[in-house]
Structure 1
Amino acid sequence: MNNLYFTEEHNLFRKSLQDFLQKEVVPYIDKWEQTGEIERFVWKKFGEMGFLGIKYPEVYGGMDLDLFYTIILLEELQKVNSGGFAAAIWAHVYLAMTHLNAEGSEAIKQKYLVPSISGDMIGCLCITEPFGGSDVAGMRTTAIKDGDSYIINGSKTFITNGVLSDYLVVAAKTDPTAGGKGISMFVVDRKSIGVSATKLDKLGWRASDTGEIAFDQVKIPAENLLGEAGKGFSYIMQHFALERLIMGVNGHARAEFALNYALQYMSDRQAFGKSIDQFQALRHKVADLSTEVEFCKAFNYAVAYRLNKGEYVVKEATMSKLKSTKVADDVIYECLQFLGGYGYMEDYPLARLLRDSRLGPIGGGTSEILREILAKIIIDKKTYKPAT
C-alpha cells in the first residue's frame, strides 16, 4: 500500500520527523497536557526543521512538497499521544496559513505567512460562533467598511490556538443582508484594540489552548481583507475539503497507534497461562478493528492522491472525516477494553486517547452535518464547486 504513494524520500522524511518528535516533543507532552500551554520554543524548532512550511512556496520559506509529506506529518503527530498538541500544529499550518497563502496579498504573506513558516508567529482560524455552530452562513460577526478600515464586532468560539496565537484569520459578514454571499475573510493582529480571548476548559485536547474570542469595535486596515469581499464562504468551503481529510487522516492514524499499543500490551499480558492475544474472542475483535482501520487508511490515501492532483474532492473528504473519526472512536474504545483496568489509568495512553479522539466526530463539522452534506450530494445531486 505505502509503495503506491510514498517514495524513499517520503520514508526518509518520516524517519527524520519521528526522531525529531521523540527528542523535542515527547519529553514535554505530559507537562503541556497539565498546563494547557505549549511552550513557544517548540514552534521555533518546528520552523527551523521546515515542518511548518511543508506545502508552502519556497519563496516564503516553505519546501513546496507534495501532499503526502503532509500526510506523514499528520500521522506522526498522532503518535505523540496528545491530540491537543497535534491540533495546535495542524490548525496553525493547515487552517490559518492556508487562507494566508491562498487569499492573502503579497504584503500579508510577507507580514504573516513568512514568520508563520519560520515558527515566529502562530495563527488561528475563527469561523465557529457561540450561536452558529456548523451554520457558517448564519454567522453574526460583522466587518463594516469605514473609509480605509473595517470595524469588526462579534464573537467566535472553540478556536484552536485562540488564546496564545499572534494573529487571527476571521470570517465576518461585510454584507449582513446577503447571507453566505456576504461573508469575507480578514487577518487580524492579536494586538489590535478590542480583541479579547477566554480559555475554554475541555474534556480532551488538554495541551492546546482553545478559546472564545470577542471582537469589540476592532479596527483593522482595509488591506487586511483576504481575497475579495463577499467570497469568504466560497473560500471556507474550498478549504474544508483539506480540513476534513486532515481529520480523517488523524482518525486512522490514532486508531492505528492505539491498535499497535494494545497488541504489544496483549502479547505481554498473561492470563490463564497464556498471553491474552491468544484468546479467540480478542483475536477476532482485533481482526475486525484492523480491517476497519486499513479500509480508512486506503481510502484516505486515495483521496489525498486526488487532492494532490488538484481535484475537488469535497464529497470524498467529507466521507473520510465521517467514517475515519467514527472508526477511531470505536477502535480506541475497544483497545482500552483490551487493557482492562489499566486502560482506565492515566499512566497508560488509552485514557487520553479516548478523550482526545471524541472530538473527531464534532470538530470541523459534526457527523450529523456531514451526513446531510453527503445526502445532498448523493440524493439531491447538489454540486459544490471551487471558488473562482
Structure 2
Amino acid sequence: KLMTLQWREEDNGLDGFYKNNLDKSLDIQALSYYHRKDGKVVALWKRSKAALSDDEGTTFSTPVKVPTLTMAGGKQWGQRTDDGRYAICYNPIEMDEHRFPLVIITGDDGAIFDNMLLVQGEVPPRRFFGRWKDFGPCYMRGMEEGNGNPPGNDMWLSYSMNKEDIWISRIPTPVRYEVKGNIADDFNALQNNGSVSDWNIYAPQWAPVTVVATPQKQGKCLELADKDPYDYARAIRVFEESSQIECSLTVSPAQNKTGSLEIDLTDRYGNRPVRLRFDDKGNIVVTDGGTEKIVQTYDASQWYTLTFSVNAQLAGGSFDLAINGKKVVEKATLAEAVKSVERLSLRTGPYRDLPNRKTPNEDPHPPLAGADEPVATAIFFVDDVMVKKR
C-alpha cells in the first residue's frame, strides 16, 4: 500500500483501495517515504508536509508542515542511502514558478538532517514556452524502497529540467562536501566512458564529459565535448579550501576556431576570482581585475600546461599564471574579492546567472532558434590536475 499510495491524488475511485486514515480533503501530494531505524515510516509530501506511520501506512499521524523545510510546490524525495544514513532532496525556495536549485540534506537517524549541499545548480535556457513550465529541476524522484537497488553505493535521482528534458543525477555515498590534502588527478585509474570519481559533472546529451584515451600520449584524460547551441559541459573539482594555492592542469584543444573552454578557480559560493578562457579565435584570455587580456595564442591538438599561483584575500588578492613554464601573468588582480578558493571549474560555454528569482516564467516567448540542431563540435582534453597549498 505504501508503494501505491502516491497514486491516490489522481485516483478518485470509491473501491476502498487506499485504506488509511488520510482524509481526501488533506492538501498532500506526491508522497515519498522511507523507514527509520526504529521501524517508523516517514511520509513526505509537497509544501513541506510530513507524517509518521507505525503500521506500514495503514494509519498516519496528522500531516504537519515542517517549519525547517523551505519549499513550495516542487516534489521532495527522502530515502535511506546505501551507507546506512538518510537523505532528503528538494528545491529550497518558496516560489512555485522557480524550482532551483536542487539540494540534498543528510542525517544519521532519519529525523534530524543537516549539511545542505547542492545537487543541481545549473538551469539551462528554456527552449520552449508553456504554461506552468517552471525553471529548474521538476518532478524529482528517486529509487523507491523495494523497487530494486542498482549496483554500487550511489543514490540516483531523476527530474525534468525546465519540464523539458529528463535528467539523471548520481550522488555517491557517503555524501561529502569537503576535501583534505593535495590533489593529483591523472584519470589513469578510471574506466573509459565511466564515472569521474571525485568530480562534479554536468553533462547534457550534446555536451558529454568523458574519460578517454589521451591523444598524443599514453594514459587517460578527461574529454569535454560540446555541440549544444545553448548549453555546455561542466566539470568541477573540489579541493581543500585555502587562501594560498598552486593549481596546475594540462589542456589540449582539438580545434582553435570554434568553441571555448572557460577555466575558473572559485570559492565555496561560486565567486570566480581567477578566470581564463580558450576562446573561439585561438586566443588564451585572462581576466585581470575588470579587464580581459589576451596573453597568447593557442594551436589545435597541442598541450598547454597552465600553472596558477593564487593569493586569495579581500584586499590586494592576486594571482600569477605560467603557460608551459613561461610566466605570462604576474600579480593580476582577482576578478572578485574572496577570502579563499576551493574549486576548479571547467566549462565549455560562458558563465550564466539567469534565470534568477526575478525572471518571469509565464511571459510568452518564441522557441529558441535552432535549439534542436547541433552546432559544430568543440572538444577539449584535460589531464594532470594538481592542487596544493603554498
Query: What is the TM-score of this pair, normalised by structure 2?
Result: 0.24
Larger radius of gyration: 2
Q: Please identify which structure carries the higher helix content.
A: 1
Query: What is the TM-score of this pair, normalised by structure 1?
Result: 0.24
